[in-house]
Amino acid sequence: MSQPITEQALPQTPKEKNVLQRIYTIINQNNQLKIGSILLLFLVLIGVFAPLLALYSPTALGDGLLVPPSAEHWLGTDKLGRDLYSMILYGTRTSLMVGFVSAIISGIIGTIIGAYAGFYGGKVERLLTEINNIFLMMPTFFLILLVAALFGNSLIIVMVIIGLTGWASNARLMRAQALSIRERTFIKSSIAIGEKKSFIIFKHIIPNGIFPIIASTTMNISGAILIESSLSFIGLGDPNIISWGQIVFDGRSYMTSGWWVSTFSGFMIVITVLSFYLIGDGLNKVINPKLK
Amino acid sequence: MVFLNVKKLNVEYYTKNNSVHAVQDISFQLDQRDTIGIVGESGSGKSTLAMAILQLIPKNTGKVTGKIEMKSKRLLDLTPSEIREVRWVDIAAVFQKSMNALSPVHRVGNQLSDIYRLHEKNIPHKMLKQRIFQLLDMVNLPSHVYKAYPHELSGGMMQRVSIALGLMHNPKLLILDEATTALDVVTQTQILKELMELEEKMGLTRIMITHDLSIVASSCKKVAVMYSGQIVESGFVKDVLYNPLHPYTKSLIKSVPSLKGENRKITAIKGSIPDLSKPIEGCVFAARCPYAKEVCFQSAPENSELENNRAVKCHFVKGGEFVWEEGKQTIV
Amino acid sequence: MANYIQKRIITGILIIVVSIVLNFTLIKLSPGDPIRVLSGQDSPSPQMQAELTAKYGLDQSVFMQFINYVGNLAKGDLGVSILSNQPVLKMIMERIGPTLLLALTTAIIALIIGTALGIYCARYRGSRFDNIVSGSSYIFDSMPNFWLGMMLIMIFSSSLGWLPTSGMVDLRTNYTGFNYYLDVFKHWLLPATTIVLVTVPYYFRIARSSIIQVMSEDFITTLRATGMSESRIFNKYVFKNAILPTITVFGINLAYIVTGVAIVEIVFSWPGMGSFMLDAIHRRDYPLLMGIYLLLSISVAIMMIIVDVIYAYLDPRILYKER
């Protein structure tokens, strides 16, 4: 694993193809990637077109409370008579947003800290690596829970805190990448020419070592979605937003009289998390064929 | 008497969508105590050839056809349990990257003993230990190596451990696959010298797989030059390396800098080896050959056999000479 | 070795220090004044305010407050729960038993099942069994544990009525001896199944991929060439090389088991730390939450040191790299 994983490791695709075609070629190589991408595409479409697909307003209180799935309410209604099908459609937006925003925050922090640690070496590296180790080991879920409990449960706070606590694994990956990339000739020559260090980091080290981070960030999206749903399930979710975790939480009181409330919303969490797991794992395999 | 007879050996690897013909119709013979160097670029199939002789090509990824005879044994027809008995007693090997040749979490002595006992099951513990110490001593290693882990040894020391491992049961045939490539030149020369002395004592036959012509020149009697899965030229080292006939051999020699003699120009061979998943109509080297003419792209050259067990696969080698333009001998 | 352990201990201490600082900062940063946080009330009585101010030195400088806070911790005083007015440490100790029972048993079962499946699937890679197990491992890995728990309750308790839905013992009965254990076992079965199902994929994937990785190492080729049988190569050499990552992960997971099972405990009303935490959250018992968090950090730090020492003992390369 000492070999840096860079673009060269990816299957060669002719340069004249456009970006979409290249992405298509990569996705086509791996079944996990294929299934994951199809699922994700489906979810994104649901999220984008939720207002068109929904039969009712997700917040509209209907007359029928806890109505089982029927022609009128495809997935039934909850205790307040809201249409679950419509709520679940809108919940897609919440989950995808939480996943993307927090994973991007942790991806950026991790990449920068890791790249600096690996490139600079010496004291900077030791300090950053020590911080990294601490964050890797800290019981982050409980910390997130504590912050959500203390600072109130707005979605933004939840996303930011998941991002701020989740960067450690990315930083470790990026550090390893930077450590080996900095030994390569083109970096040595950049240093010899006298280019600024931060320029080299952002121009060469990060672009050349980013692939494993992309894969791991995709996995982090899954993690973030699960954390958000768990927080909602404990009752620490944002009450002003429709979230699948919260619907599952609400359904807990009606396990016998309204099985559909929790079942379908939880199933959507499974599908979403699964799609990102598959994409992340598939990317890892494409980057590093040995893992097959 | 012929000791090892490889005849029309073919190896094909299967991948998802196609198959790669990594070794094509290779034939050569070795007498007892012969030493042969097999040279070629990476990807020329030389390591695959070694793995085929060692029967180490997994059945689900590759197919080996042809004939490999060692004395009277037909190696390709043996059952798995017969193969296990041939291994290390008749044929042993020293692999490339000797740093990774042993398990990193078991002690060297433990592994050597374990392997020794495979073919001498009833040896008492004390004798076994003694024997391992003898082996370590034979390759000039101190006895504390017995208790060491592989990562505690240097590259040269691990190479010696690998050689001790290979010579453990006095094999008849030893295959060295790029065994000294990773070492520095001084250590490499010394280990080669020691190996040749041991080989003299033990009456070994050796196949040396390398990309380094100087190793072949200094330690082998015969040489076979491989290109893209085929042997393009073979014969005695003194003939082939001092008077190369095949254009590929010529360019290989030209790409090696020489310390002695005149300061000549080092030329790299242009282009890269052909894609072996597609059949090639003409000569395999034609695309990169500076002498290629139309005929080279149209038909594969015959293997012309010359005196002194020499063979060359080139359209322009006639009667032991390289004749390119009509009537004229071309000297490069 | 001494040097190595020393390094680990330093990292461990740093984890604890960072957790203490974070805890302290969170109190200071949280909206509203610290007395509100520490008392859990929006308008605490003047007497309570005075008490808390004296105890935490809230009228002194921030630095002195911190010293004071650390001093209290050093005495084993993690604060006093707002809910019950009892010391936090004592309360945690009372509730940790059921959590450990659930967490330890499931961790060991998941480790064994996951590793065994991983080894088997790595050996018969690409077989139908491997494909089925690998495929399901993704699905179970994607399941929120609380949802899986609820689904199991719906199937096995609500619909089929085979198993109890909540608690650790049936409070209506007064079993003793064997019947008591049987009752606990019945209550344990569903939460345990939930935890095992979501944890197995983890060990499965680590075991499977590390075995596959070891199988592709050069030394395996050497061993094959010597005529060693596949089963001996596997049992002696592949196994020891591949089991090390699993052991590390298991050790680290042990440190997190308390939080790992908390949510499942909540689903099944298992009388452990999880339900306790939920109460603390809803009643804003912040001293209790912070006490749990600190204790958790300390146990993680200690487990990390133990795991690393064991790992260094098992894998000779570790110490070498550290030098």
What is the tens place of the pLDDT at every residue in C260-317?
788 898 888 888 888 888 888 877 777 788 888 888 888 888 888 888 888 777 777 7
- C244 three-state secondary structure: helix
- The amino acid present at B180, given as its one-letter code, is T
CB contact under 8 A, C225 and B118: no
Query: C222 CA to chain B: closest CA distance, Å?
Result: 6
Alpha-carbon span A235 to A252, nearest angstrom: 12
What is the model's pLDDT at position A1?
Answer: 37
Q: Is B8 left (phi over 0), alpha (psi -120 to 50) or beta?
A: left
Residue count of chain B: 332
**Per-residue 3-state assignment (H helix, E strand, C coil) for chain B:** CEEEEEEEEEEEEECCCCEEEEEEEEEEEEECCCEEEEECCCCCCHHHHHHHHCCCCCCCCEEEEEEEEECCEEHHHCCHHHHHHHECCCEEEECCCHHHCCCCCCCHHHHHHHHHHHHCCCCCHHHHHHHHHHHHHHCCCCHHHHHCCHHHCCHHHHHHHHHHHHHCCCCCEEEEECCCCCCCHHHHHHHHHHHHHHHHHHCCEEEEEECCHHHHHHHCCEEEEEECCEEEEEEEHHHHCCCCCCHHHHHHHHCCCCCCCCCCCCCCCCCCCCCCCCCCCCCCCHHHCCCCCHHHHHCCCCEEEECCCEEEECCCEECCEEECCCCCECCC
CB contact under 8 A, B105 and C226: no
What is the model's pLDDT at position A10?
Answer: 45
In C, which residues are within 8 Å of A152 by CB distance?
A: 31
What is the model's pLDDT at position C200?
Answer: 92
CB contact under 8 A, C226 and B103: no
Q: What is the mean pLDDT of residues B49-54?
A: 88
CA B43 to chain centre: 13
Residues C294/C19, Cβ–Cβ less than 8 Å: yes
A120-134: buried (b, 16+ CB within 10 Å) or exposed (e) per residue?
Answer: beeeebeebbebbbb
pLDDT at residue A290 is higher than 60: no
Alpha-carbon span A174 to A107, nearest angstrom: 10
- Token pair for B181: 């490539």
Alpha-carbon torsion B21, B27, B30, B36, what sign? negative
Query: Does C216 contact B at CB distance below 8 Å?
Result: no
pLDDT in tens, A172-213: 889 888 888 888 888 888 888 888 888 888 888 888 888 888
Other residues' Cβ atoms within 10 Å of the Cβ of residue A142:
21
Instruction: Kindly indicate the confidence band of residue A102, based on its pLDDT and cuts at 50, 70 and 90.
Output: very high
Q: Tell me the pLDDT of chain C averaged across its residues.
A: 82
Query: B88 CA to chain C: closest CA distance, Å?
Result: 5
In A, which residues are within 8 Å of C282 by CB distance?
A: 235
Query: Does C301 contact A at CB distance below 8 Å?
Result: yes
C242 vs A2, which has greater pLDDT? C242
C303 vs A109, which has greater pLDDT? A109
What is the model's pLDDT at position C124?
Answer: 86
Q: What is the mean pLDDT of residues B37-43?
A: 85
Bridge partners (DSSP) of residue B37 are B208, B223
Alpha-carbon span B46 to B48, nearest angstrom: 5
Residues C110/C116, Cβ–Cβ less than 8 Å: no
Q: Output the CA–CA distances (angstroms, integers) from residue C99 to B124, C91, C102, in the order listed.
A: 53, 13, 5
pLDDT in tens, A114-153: 998 888 878 888 888 888 888 887 778 888 888 888 887 7
In C, which residues are within 8 Å of A245 by CB distance?
A: 144
Name the residue in chain C with its Cα closest to that of B118: C228
Query: Does C281 contact A at CB distance below 8 Å?
Result: yes
Q: Output the CA–CA distances (angstroms, integers) from residue B249 to A26, A167, C206, in the order listed.
A: 40, 55, 48
Name the residue in chain B with its Cα closest to that of C314: B105
CATH superfamily entry for domain B2-329 = P-loop containing nucleotide triphosphate hydrolases (3.40.50.300)
Identify the top-confidence range among A20-24, A87-91, C167-171: A87-91
What is the model's pLDDT at position B261?
Answer: 54
A174-178, B83-87, C85-89, C129-133: segment of lowest average pLDDT: C85-89
Bridge partners (DSSP) of residue B235 are B223
A270-274, B99-103, C59-63: segment of lowest average pLDDT: C59-63
Residues B92/C222, Cβ–Cβ less than 8 Å: no
Q: What is the mean pLDDT of residues B302-306?
A: 79
- C87 three-state secondary structure: strand
Phi, psi of C153 (to 5 degrees): -60, -45
> Token pair 């008995």 is at which residue?
B85
Alpha-carbon span C154 to B7, nearest angstrom: 69
pLDDT at residue A5 is higher than 50: no
In C, which residues are within 8 Å of A146 by CB distance?
A: 26, 289-290, 293
Query: A17 CA to chain C: closest CA distance, Å?
Result: 33
- The amino acid present at A225, given as its one-letter code, is I
The kind and range of the H/E element at A173 are: helix A168-181
Residues C82/C282, Cβ–Cβ less than 8 Å: no
- Token pair for B27: 């034939």
- Between positions 164 and 193 of C, the ones with CB within 8 A of A are none
Q: Tell me the pLDDT of chain B averaged across its residues.
A: 83
pLDDT at residue B327 is higher than 50: no
CB pairs under 8 A between A and C: 122
- Token pair for C311: 């790992």
| Partner chains of C (3+ C-beta pairs under 8 Å) | A, B
What is the model's pLDDT at position A107?
Answer: 93
pLDDT in tens, A44-82: 998 888 788 777 777 777 777 777 777 777 777 777 778
> Token pair 């998943």 is at which residue?
B277
- Between positions 115 and 134 of B, the ones with CB within 8 A of C are 115, 118-119
CB contact under 8 A, B88 and C225: yes
Query: C208 CA to chain B: closest CA distance, Å?
Result: 19
What is the model's pLDDT at position B22?
Answer: 86
A221 vs C283, which has greater pLDDT? A221
What is the model's pLDDT at position A2?
Answer: 41
What is the model's pLDDT at position B328?
Answer: 46
- Token pair for B279: 């059949």
- The amino acid present at A80, given as its one-letter code, is L
pLDDT in tens, B173-228: 999 888 777 677 887 888 888 888 888 888 889 999 988 888 888 888 899 998 88
Closest CA to B194 of B136, B138, B146: B138
Residues B303/B297, Cβ–Cβ less than 8 Å: no
Query: C313 CA to chain A: closest CA distance, Å?
Result: 21
What is the model's pLDDT at position B325?
Answer: 66
Instruction: Kindly indicate the confidence band of residue B264, based on its pLDDT and cuts at 50, 70 and 90.
Output: low
Contacts with B176 (C-beta within 8 Å, 6 or more apart), sequence order: B93, B94, B206, B207, B208, B209, B210
Contacts with C157 (C-beta within 8 Å, 6 or more apart), sequence order: C163, C164, C165, C190
> Token pair 């925003």 is at which residue?
A101
CB contact under 8 A, C296 and A252: no
Instruction: Kindly indicate the confidence band of residue B237, based on its pLDDT and cuts at 50, 70 and 90.
Output: confident
Query: Does B102 contact C at CB distance below 8 Å?
Result: yes
Contacts with A188 (C-beta within 8 Å, 6 or more apart), sequence order: none
Q: Is A275 exposed, middle or buried (0-12, 13-18, 19+ CB in 10 A)?
A: buried
- Token pair for C176: 């003793």
Bridge partners (DSSP) of residue B169 are none
Query: Does C64 contact A at CB distance below 8 Å?
Result: no
Query: Does C229 contact B at CB distance below 8 Å?
Result: yes
pLDDT at residue B251 is higher than 50: yes
| pLDDT above 70 coverage of chain B, percent | 91
Residues B224/B37, Cβ–Cβ less than 8 Å: yes
Q: Is B266 exposed, middle or buried (0-12, 13-18, 19+ CB in 10 A)?
A: exposed
Alpha-carbon span A133 to C248, nearest angstrom: 15
- Which CATH architecture best describes the domain A47-291? Orthogonal Bundle (1.10)
| Residue ranges of domains in chain C, CATH in brackets | 96-271 (1.10.3720.10)
Query: Does B88 contact C at CB distance below 8 Å?
Result: yes
pLDDT at residue C194 is higher than 70: yes
Alpha-carbon span C1 to C310, nearest angstrom: 11
Other residues' Cβ atoms within 10 Å of the Cβ of residue B263:
7
Query: Does C21 contact A at CB distance below 8 Å?
Result: no
A169-183, B212-226, B295-309, C104-118: segment of lowest average pLDDT: B295-309
pLDDT at residue B262 is higher than 70: no
Q: What is the mean pLDDT of residues C122-148?
A: 90
CB contact under 8 A, B149 and C316: yes
Extents of the domains making up chain A: 47-291
Contacts with B190 (C-beta within 8 Å, 6 or more apart), sequence order: none
Q: Tell me the pLDDT of chain A averaged across its residues.
A: 82
What is the model's pLDDT at position C301?
Answer: 83
What is the model's pLDDT at position B99?
Answer: 77
Alpha-carbon span A251 to A113, nearest angstrom: 42
Residues C133/C115, Cβ–Cβ less than 8 Å: no
Radius of gyration of chain A (CA): 22
Alpha-carbon span C257 to C246, nearest angstrom: 16
pLDDT at residue B326 is higher than 60: no
Closest CA to C266 of A143, A145, A162, A252: A252
What is the model's pLDDT at position B332?
Answer: 43
| Partner chains of A (3+ C-beta pairs under 8 Å) | C
What is the model's pLDDT at position A270?
Answer: 93
- Token pair for C190: 């569903």
